[in-house]
């Protein structure tokens, strides 16, 4: 049951609340010194390339989460930070000339390692259970569709 008075009261409160002017936010000026540019090494570039490759591929990422003893939130932060750092590393010409294109190498090696059941430092990853296929799936899907169809048709 709807209560007309309650609806009118809530509407009035919503209109009045948005009509009241809020005081402007205080602007605080902070003086910060820019961070000195850090010179990245080839091993650091390789680590960022490997972690970003794992982080961008959903299959590698899920397998990494399943195999890691650390929490998923911590692992997600590590992978997401590597993904964010990768564009700056790729555009660094001096680093690419010194180390080569480690991003392309990371993609190729991640694929090769995954076929050998290895993701990052975790090896011998168990094989996933095969999906159930066959006539049972068709029967279940048909039953669900029929149940929803009958429910929709029977609605007043």
Radius of gyration of the chain (CA): 27
Give the per-residue pLDDT at 140. Answer: 93
Task: Please check the confidence at residue 34 and state whether its pLDDT lies above 70.
Answer: no
Residue carrying structure tokens 């929490």:
71
Whether residue 116 is contained in a domain is answered as: yes
Structural domain span for residue 49: 42-121
Model confidence over 61-112: pLDDT tens digits? 888 888 888 878 888 898 899 999 988 888 888 888 888 888 888 889 989 8
Domains contained in the chain, number? 1
Nearest in space to 110 (alpha carbons), one of 68, 60, 66: 60
Residue 76 lies in a domain: yes
Residue 141 lies in a domain: no
Q: Domain for residue 22, yes or no?
A: no
Task: Measure the CA angle with vertex 86, ends 39 and 98; round to 5°.
Answer: 45
The pLDDT confidence band at residue 37, using thresholds 50, 70 and 90, is low
Does position 35 have pLDDT exceeding 60, yes or no?
Answer: no
């Amino acid at each position: 049951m709807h209560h007309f008075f309650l609806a009118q009261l809530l509407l009035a409160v919503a209109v009045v609340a948005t009509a009241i002017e809020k005081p402007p936010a205080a602007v605080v000026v902070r003086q910060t010194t820019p961070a000195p540019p850090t010179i990245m090494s080839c091993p650091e570039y390789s680590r960022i390339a490997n972690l970003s490759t794992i982080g961008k591929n959903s299959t590698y990422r899920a397998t990494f989460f399943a195999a890691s003893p650390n929490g998923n939130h911590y692992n997600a932060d590590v992978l997401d930070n590597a993904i964010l750092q990768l564009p700056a590393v790729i555009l660094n010409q001096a680093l690419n000339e010194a180390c080569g294109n480690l991003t392309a190498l990371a993609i190729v090696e991640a694929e090769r390692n995954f076929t050998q059941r290895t993701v990052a430092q975790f090896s011998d990853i168990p094989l996933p259970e095969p999906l159930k296929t066959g006539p049972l799936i068709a029967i279940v899907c048909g039953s669900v569709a029929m149940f929803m169809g009958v429910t929709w048709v029977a609605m007043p």
